[in-house]
Amino acid sequence: MFFRDITGQQEIKHRLLQSAKDGYIPHARMISGQEGVGKMALVLAYARYLSCTRRSEDDACGVCSSCIKYNKLSHPDLHFVYPIVKNDKKKKELCDDYLKEWRQFVLQNPYFNLNGWLNFIGAENSQGMIYAKESDEIIRKLNLKAYESEYKIMIVWLPEKMHETCANKLLKEIEEPPANTVFLLVSENPDRVIGTIQSRTQSLPVPPIDGEAMRGALQKQSHSVIDDNIIHLANGNYLKALELIANNEETRQFPNLFISIMRNCWKRDVKNMRSQAETFAALGREKQKAFLAYAENMMRENFFYRLHIPEINYLNTEEFDFAKNFSPYVNENNVIDLINELALAERHIESNVNSRIVFFDLSMKIAVLIKTKAL
């Protein structure tokens, strides 16, 4: 990944390049932002630039020994930490046990999410985590001398997924890093990273991708004109835009599930609520969490729909049609409670509570809340 390959984000690219050219290389950065804005792409381009031996004013050269290794993410001074799933049968318990799959996955497309990664490694119902044992491996790598580059670079994708033990040990390394060590933490929920790590990293928020930059990249990739509605609905998320264009299974599935559960709740159809809970239980925990995050967003969107300001609504045609009738039941008296219940259910799923019970209980609570009328 080169800076020139990144969609939009001109200001962030300029800041990273200028920092490197000025010789100001913070030993720890927290690069944060919503899914699909290019955080990992920026980090990979920055790491390549720092390691390049013939870099230009605005990018790595692409031909030096370092860049050739970066083409395969195999540079000896480049290290990765990322959520994995333990597999005792295959003796996979550290990030490096998945390194071959990780390189293949990232090289396919640097715009990705956790659900995509876990599906790629066949995680099934398991949730990804950076396990406690990983901390010893991180310390071992950082205490090695740099092989070829001036810097040893440790990229931590989703530090919010670190086990507490791992996070605490990483804190010590960030406080007193070995010489010429650069930590690049790539986060979607920096508030979930322990505060002591947050306070010791330089924050670099990455905004949503500019609409016109998004359009240009999508048209170049698809060789077709991109509808304005796709740019609007993607809301700066390149991954979301690709999903909208592909109209993949998950894009179609989540709206149908949301509509189904809300109708059951409105009718107080307990039999179908139980049946629906079985359907949700079969999704797998990462997809369950993804749906609950989607449902939280739908509650916000239905609340905003009542304001009749189209430019602040991000609903596709199917969601928009449902909101015409459903939005009156998401109002100032219940919207916060509805979102809180969905967020609580998401936390319960993350804590491995029985998903059938979680979704049935959630349905019962929503059934009560959506009967709360607006003033």
Q: Is residue 282 part of a domain?
A: yes
Give the largest CA-CA distance in the chain.
Answer: 68
pLDDT at residue 375 greater than cutoff 50:
no
What residue ranges in the chain does DSSP mark as E strands? Answer: 28-32, 78-81, 152-157, 181-187, 202-205
pLDDT band at 3 (very low <50, low <70, confident <90, very high): very high
Q: Is residue 374 part of a domain?
A: no
Enter the pTM of the model.
0.73
Specify the CATH number for the domain of residue 150: 3.40.50.300
Q: Is residue 375 part of a domain?
A: no
pLDDT at residue 264 greater than cutoff 50:
yes
Specify the CATH number for the domain of residue 327: 1.20.272
Give the model confidence (pLDDT) of 81-140 as tens digits. Answer: 999 998 777 778 899 999 999 999 999 988 999 988 998 988 876 788 999 899 999 989
Q: What is the mean pLDDT of residues 182-209?
A: 92
Q: For residue 240, what pLDDT is reported?
A: 84
- Considering the domain architecture, whether residues 355 and 221 belong to the same structural domain is answered as no
- Considering the domain architecture, whether residues 40 and 68 belong to the same structural domain is answered as yes
pLDDT at residue 360 greater than cutoff 60:
yes
Q: Helix H segments across 52-201?
A: 65-70, 99-108, 114-120, 134-142, 164-175, 195-198
- Considering the domain architecture, whether residues 350 and 324 belong to the same structural domain is answered as yes
> Residue 193 half-sphere exposure, CB side, CA atoms within 13 Å?
24
- Considering the domain architecture, whether residues 168 and 311 belong to the same structural domain is answered as no
Which two three-digit tokens encode residue 72?
Answer: 């395969």
- Considering the domain architecture, whether residues 231 and 335 belong to the same structural domain is answered as no
Q: What percent of the chain has pLDDT over 70?
A: 97
- Considering the domain architecture, whether residues 156 and 9 belong to the same structural domain is answered as yes
For the chain, what is the domain count? 3
